[in-house]
Amino acid sequence: MDTYTAVKNRILCLCEEKKMTINKLATASGVAPSTVKNILYGKSRNPGIVTLKMFCDGLGMTLPEFFDTDTFENLEQEIQ
């Protein structure tokens, strides 16, 4: 799995766990709904760390908590 897919899946999973829609995540995190949708639907494949931090704030978690999964521990090498 590549990093983009891991981040996208993690955001979707967390939203499902917290019963948040994409629009509710956008509102809670202060990120434009279009930005959230662009990340989740592949138009923007490189979300910045500040945007991810804002998502974490909206989800009530820290960046280390966001990345603390087996998926991120076992990511493929991006540069081949």
Do the domain assignments include residue 69? no
Cα(80)–Cα(73) distance, integer angstroms: 18
Contact 63, 56 (CB under 8 A): yes
Residue 23 lies in a domain: yes
Number of domains in the chain: 1
Q: What is the pLDDT of residue 19?
A: 96
Provide the domain limits for residue 43: 3-61
Q: Is residue 32 part of a domain?
A: yes
Per-residue pLDDT tens digits for 33-68: 999 999 999 999 899 999 999 999 999 999 999 999
Q: Is 53 domain-assigned?
A: yes
Domain assignment of residue 8, yes or no: yes
Alpha-carbon distance of 60 to 68, in angstroms, equals: 15
28 within some domain: yes
DSSP 43: S
Each residue of 33-65: b (16+ CB within 10 Å) or e? eebbeebbeeebeebeeebbebbbebbeeeeee
List the CATH number of the domain containing 42.
1.10.260.40
